[in-house]
Amino acid sequence: MLSRLIPFTFLAAACGDGAAGPGQTSDDIATTSVMEAIAEQRSKLEADVQTQSGDGAYAFSFAGLVHEQINLAAFEGRPILVVNTASKCGFTPQYAVLQETYEAYKEQGLVLIGVPSNDFGSQEPGSADEIETFCRLNYGVTFLMAAKSVVQGAESHPFYAWAKAELGDDAVPRWNFHKILIDAEGRAMAAFPSSVRPTSQRLTSAIETALTGTDLPPENG
């Protein structure tokens, strides 16, 4: 299954035939491709901004990093992977692997949302513009990015409070790049700690289970 993961070089190839024009470098082409993908995401979200809240995860929304708002109800019928992120963390290179995972499964319906947070070690101190630029230039991120949010404690975003109520303490981030998977019916399906890489069999199997609409089998042990 991981053989379907698309390497980071997809960015250059995604823009026309990948050939640089006069004065253009491959980095220019890659940046243009990422910006076009982000603009497409923004356009889709703006069209869905009036979507009414529903049950489960669909009752929640995030302020967007580069979008006005990310309403989870807009993705009804599609699995959603929510990951709290940071730019100055030992797990920050997971941005690249998250992008690969998103590319591998987006056509099948996966939605991926990064939620920057400064909760852990003050490792996300930047402004919205700084975070967006960092993600775009260093990792070619085109999946959705929420505005910086609190993800633990009494002041946590309501989505995280709901996830804890549904999944227990496993849903509470203990560090950056904790992952929560929502199934296609808006139910909290599973949570994964920071150490579980996006390309791990444990996580990709759960994503594929969510995409097929079946229940996640119990873990051994």
Active site residues: 89
Residue 91 β-bridge partners: none
Q: In residues, how long is the chain? A: 221
The CA distance from 188 to 177, in Å, is: 17
C-alpha distances out from residue 133 to 87, 140, 213, Å: 11, 10, 35
Find, among 87, 96, 157, the residue nearest to 128 by Cα: 87
The CA distance from 215 to 169, in Å, is: 21
Residue bearing tokens 């993908």: 37
Quote the DSSP letter at residue 78.
S
